[in-house]
Chain A
Amino acid sequence: MRIVSMIMVWIYIVLATILEVVASYLIPASSWVFRDTVISVVAISMAAAVVLFYMELKYQPRWESLFLLTTLFFVADLIFIWTASLVH
């Protein structure tokens, strides 16, 4: 039942948000790499859930993902080049 899936996704997003907040409090700032990795993974999983369910890409023919995937390539390109430009 798709409506159930949508409500489950919402519950997951709520719980994941709370998990992020808890992680930011519990993991000390000195372990920021671990903390940021955990939060990043959770955030990406939440975004993926929204894309797959609320944007319904899970239920659409694969070609509908064309724009999203090609744009993600350029998003990754942008983020990588910009952040790498300062690394020495």
Chain B
Amino acid sequence: MSVEERLSAIEKRLSRIEKQVGGHRKPEATWLRSWLFTTDHKRVGILYFVTSFYFLFIGGILALLMRTQLAVPESTLLTSAAYNQAVSMHGLIMVLWFLSPLGVAFANYFVPLQIGAKDVAFPRFNAFSYWMYVFGGFVAISGFFVPGGAASAGWTNYAPLSSKLFLPGGGETLIALGLLMLWGSLTMGSVNLITTILSMRAPGMTWTKVPTFTWFTLVTQLLLVWSVPSIFSGTLALIVDRTLGSLFFVSSGGSSVLWDNMWWFFGHPEVYVVILPGLGAAAEIISVFSGRPLYAKKAILLGLVFGMLPFSFAIYGHHMFLTGINALEREIFTMNTEINTIPSGMIVICFAATMVGGAIKFKTPMLMALASIATFVIGGVTGVFDSSLFLDVQLRGTYQVVSHFHYIMVGTAEFALFGAIYYWMPRWTGRMYNEKVGKLHFILSFIFFNILFFPMTFLLDMPRRIYTYAPATGWGPFNLIETVGAWGFGLAQILLLYVMLEMGWFGRRVGTNPWNVASPEWTGDVESYVKNYPAVYSMGSHATDGGVPAHAETPLNISPFVISAGLALFLFGLVWSLPVTLVGIVVGIWGIGTWFKDDLYGLFKVPEEPAGEKWPLTHLSHVKVGVWLTLAGEMILFAAIIGSYLYIRESVPIWPPPAAIHNIRLATFNTLLLFSSGLTAFLALYSIRNGNRNGLVGWLGATFALGAGFLSIKIIEWWQLMTGNPPFTIASGLPGSTYYFMTGVHAVHIIVGLILMTFLITKGIKGGFTKTNHDAVEYFTLYWALVDIVWIFLFPLLYLV
């Protein structure tokens, strides 16, 4: 049979299978299914939007409970335990499940429209990110319903307070598990959006023409891809501490400073993750409503990319001034923090300069954007005081700090994002809000926000984590005023709900571009926006919804929903009951199987993207960009794990010689097995590049055998160590904790590699790869090389030194 005949037979078979399973895979798009199984960026954006407000409601209720408790001295509304749960869950929900995702909602909807892409780079992963976020939130919140209540170690989950020693209830474990899902969601989401912006811009959409909001989104997502893996590893270590008895955060060697490093390496960049999408939207709003282009846009962007982005990883230690870290390091953190105010200041000055000489229209979006800038200045100025090492000693842990970060996180981010709702929601729905109601919402929100947070600036002696206080402290009047502000601010949001319903359902219909903006998300016409380039693709040529230019929708897919639900059940069951865990495993495997099946038979097809602007990655496919970004995240993950190990080794004076514990010969042999699999993986790639399909399958099989062999010997090694005399277990000390944790995380990567190889071998046997179509093999080779590299460092660290 000739090659053509074989290909034809395969195509016929695929077509037959597609018909057979098509009924399941492509269900009729009922209303519910069209939302649950959507992979379309606009729908996913709307889902993020609605869900973030659901979490705002929960976080807001908790805030009102806290403020009511503190309104008067010696209040008994909440117990100390209940207060601690409220304050912890409020912080976590507001920062991680409301503010960040609200920015992601706008990014999801508008970034592809702004740059002229048909969708995000990886639509299925986009939906997967969303469902991981939702189910992660459910797992986290379920802590309220377990004995001991929800997490109560603060939004930072500081160790050792978050350990089982101090908080034995299930709530702390559930928040860690929920966070783990969220970190996965954030990483996938950031890889997706970065790849979209780097590789999927329409022809002519060069970097200088990329709209400001998309630029700010790019920096936000880069921050996430480099920061999240640190806390991912920290959360994983916390879970292992709480469930398997390791000692990362409950021994003098690991301890609180290790957690601080892991948390704040993520936590400080997260501040920018929260505010930058809002500031990006504010930039667009101020420009539009001033009738002038953004002043010094290039300078702002340079400040973001080369200032704020790298510096946010070099200033996080200002959260740790009182932990006893190195003195020189503290001084450097102070200096870096103050240097980092330069790009922030530039943003404010350039926004103000944009308005100078402009025909300013004080519509609600503009008022919200201005409120955002005003609160950014107040929060920024108070932050400069906090960044000073000497003042921080006095102000740390007081309500002054609470005021500072709420001016940034709520004032700057929330007002800007509220502005974005007023500005962009008419684009979603084709309906306009009532300007009077919008302005009333702005006025009440701004006044009550300041009534709530400004008095805190003067509570320099009130500790921020107390649930009640004595009348003699004199804090009562301030707290009463703040509580009035909190209720006023909360109730003012009913107006926001009203205008959102108005824009969604019963508001006045407006044209496709009520603000008369030239930006392509409004006109649908990238061609006119970028001008003077040979047009290949214009969004205006696609399907329309209600007269508004729109993209054709990407297909439905059940896998993201099913896998996320399975994972949530699995994690939930770890705390609740074993049967639930087992159900989660079954559901998860079903979801993963469906995903691979779709790939194997090409059942999930995204429309081809025409070639566009990709500089400087002109030679890279968007998938390869995504793979490299994922590997970048993996590098930070293992850097955090290795960094923790080095930190622990440095702080523990006596460490047993590896030869006294491990069988070095066996470990060396095993290491050589793994390193050999790196060569065979490359030979598989080499074979298919030369059109040798048998070689591909054979070398992949050899790689699988070597990887499985490595894993088997590793398991044998674990078994021997755990059953030895004396047993060497994860709970027997920091050497055991670090050894099992590091080799365990690496082993999970081996297992993932084996699963990927199973898929590749199956596809290879079915003739799915050819000389010109074998990208998946190349991406796997990259992944497997990283697994090798990690072991290159783990082997000497664990077995030789």
Chain A residues in contact with chain B, CB under 8 A? 2-3, 6-7, 9-10, 13-14, 17-18, 20-21, 23-24, 29, 32, 35-36, 39-40, 43, 46-47, 50-51, 53-55, 60-61, 63-64, 66-68, 70-75, 77-79, 81-88
Contacts and interface: CB of A to CB of B under 8 A. Distances in A.
A36 B797 CA distance: 9
Contacts of A50: 678, 785, 788-789, 792
Contacts of B678: 10, 13, 50, 54
Interface in B686-716: 686
B11 interface: no
Given A50-B678, A71-B635, A6 B313 contact: no
Given A10-B679, A21-B664, A82-B644, A68 B632 contact: yes
25 contacts: A2-B686, A6-B682, A10-B679, A13-B675, A13-B678, A14-B675, A17-B671, A20-B795, A21-B664, A24-B800, A24-B801, A47-B789, A50-B789, A54-B678, A63-B617, A63-B620, A64-B620, A68-B631, A71-B635, A82-B647, A83-B650, A84-B329, A85-B261, A85-B329, A86-B257
A60 to B, nearest CB: 8
Given A7-B679, A17-B668, A29 B657 contact: yes
A74 B634 CA distance: 12
B650 A86 contact: yes
A36 B124 CA distance: 45
Interface string B632-645: 10011001101110
Given A13-B678, A73-B310, 6 more contacts: A23-B800, A50-B678, A53-B682, A55-B786, A60-B619, A75-B636
B329 A81 contact: yes
Contacts of B679: 6-7, 9-10, 54
Contacts of A75: 635-636, 639
Interface string B762-801: 0000000000000000000110011011001101100111
Contacts of B671: 17
B75 interface: no
Given A50-B678, A50-B792, A74-B313, A83 B672 contact: no
A54 B682 contact: yes
B331 to A, nearest CB: 12
A67 B628 contact: yes
B32 interface: no
B646 A82 contact: yes
Chain B interface size band reads 35 or more
Contact of A71 (B317, B636, B657): B636
B399 interface: no
Contacts of A86: 257, 325-326, 647, 650-651
A68 B628 contact: yes
Given A6-B682, A86-B647, A79 B628 contact: no
Contacts of B313: 74, 77-78
Q: Which of A13, A43, A54, A85 has the most CB of B within 10 A?
A: A85
B313, B658, B678, B683 pick with most chain A CB within 10 angstroms: B678
Contacts of A70: 632
Given A6-B679, A78-B640, A63 B616 contact: yes
A64 B620 CA distance: 8
A14 B672 contact: yes
B314 interface: yes
9 smallest beta-carbon distances between A and B, as pairs: A24-B800, A71-B632, A75-B639, A10-B679, A54-B785, A67-B628, A85-B325, A82-B643, A63-B616
Nearest to B668: A21
B785 A51 contact: yes
A41 to B, nearest CB: 11
A79 B686 CA distance: 36
A77 B315 CA distance: 11
Contacts of B789: 47, 50-51
Contacts of A13: 675, 678, 792
B642 A79 contact: yes
Contacts of B682: 6, 53-54
Contacts of B320: 85
Contacts of B423: none
A9 to B, nearest CB: 8
A20 B794 CA distance: 12
A51 B628 CA distance: 12
B717 to A, nearest CB: 16
B672 A6 contact: no
A7 B793 CA distance: 21
A39 B800 contact: yes
B629 interface: yes
Contacts of A18: 668
A17 B646 CA distance: 21
A84 B785 contact: no
Contacts of B800: 20-21, 23-24, 39
B327 interface: yes
A67 B796 contact: no
Contacts of B314: 77, 81
B676 interface: yes
B226 interface: yes
Interface string B333-348: 0000000000000000
B39 interface: no
A70 B629 CA distance: 11
A88 B796 CA distance: 27
Nearest to A83: B646
Interface string B593-629: 0000000000000000000000011111000000011
Contact of A87 (B317, B326, B635, B681): B326
B265 interface: yes
B801 A32 contact: yes
Contacts of A61: 619
Contacts of B788: 50, 54
A9 B310 CA distance: 34
A15 B633 CA distance: 30
Nearest to B642: A79
Contacts of A46: 792
